[in-house]
Structure 1
Amino acid sequence: MEAVRFFPYDQGFAFVDAVFQEGGWEAVENIYTNPPTTTEQILHPEKYFSGEIASEIDATDLSTILTAEWQPVFQDSLGEWNTFLVLTAGTNPFTRIDSSSAQLATAGWNGDYTQIFSTLTGEHLVIGHWTFDSETDAEEFFTTFGLYNSQRVVGDLIEINRFPCNRDSNQISCLIIKEDNVIWVLAPDIQVTETILENYQFLLSE
């Protein structure tokens, strides 16, 4: 994907230029010993200057509650940039969100942990957990991601484990917000969805 390949040249160049404008060549040289720790710091140099770091999400390794057929493909943070790309650069052009809306939605990113699993028969399972700088930022992301989600999974609105979910003929998608947290579950069937959502019952508490 070109957006990933050119990130160091486009956004990376803009970041270095911002550092130079802030503190000259000495500040640029200091990047080698104090590099940015997140794509958020690269996209928003002021967060690099202030030393703002991502929040760590205490996420359960969901492979421990799934059956053996589900093999982990990815278990890590997407970061702000890849979260932006989820919204804007998917393989289905009909689900893509315009860049301006996606930038506003992801600007309040404060951390995430995403887990992707697949089976040998070609089924896929995605669980994303994001946290944001404020509840307002979370609501903005929830609204924009909800638009993406509704375009990706077009079907019936159902309830699973007391959570609202969308279901079409191929998959089930649940999008949940609680304070400054947003959870997304994309699963192939109700049984797998129920298994995952059991891990998030704490979100239903007041």
Structure 2
Amino acid sequence: MEQTMRKPICFYYDFVSPYSYFAFSQRDQIRERTGRELQLLPVTVGKIMEMVGNVPTSITCKTKRAYQGQDVMRWVEKLQIPFAIHPQFGTFSTEPLVQAALRAGEDVEAFSEAAFQAVWAEQAPVTDNSAMHAYFAGKEERFAAYWAENDLMKDALEKNNNMAVDDGVFGVPYFHTDSGDFFGNDRLDFLYEAIAS
């Protein structure tokens, strides 16, 4: 009973981040190993980094970018999940996807799964509004409705981004808990240990 009363884990993520995709793929394991619920909080990491004075060094540093390419493939192999680098990666904003996820409300988990697949597995036409409407309709009709009305969620997105900054977020994936904060999908073991202690 005591464990169920503990606060959920705030999980901040953005669909532009492959490491967010990796962390999201482990969400059931996180719940199982911590006994906690996850509060799924999609954000726009570029805006958050701007707000806190961070910079995306994998973009600004060629050497780090080359290393990250290797690291990403190691995680794909470890997690055994579908993966394909989007041909337009780095040229499109995920804000419409994030707003649609916010529009999904209690359905945010299912929509986020589809959105991550769109970016990191299926190379969906993310810059074409009508094509993405058709893409989501092909998944679930309700997903297409979330996409169609995503521009209504600007205030909700700003609220999530501000809450993220208040919780110490400087990048994603980021886990904010009452046992400490954890950045990156490679810090989950530390999260498990902290919550278990």
Per the normalisation by structure 1, the TM-score is 0.27
Q: Which has the larger radius of gyration?
A: 1
More strand by share: 1
- Structure with bigger helix share is 2
For CA contacts below 8 A with separation 6 or more, give which structure has more relative contact order. 2
Provide the TM-score with structure 2 as the length reference. 0.28
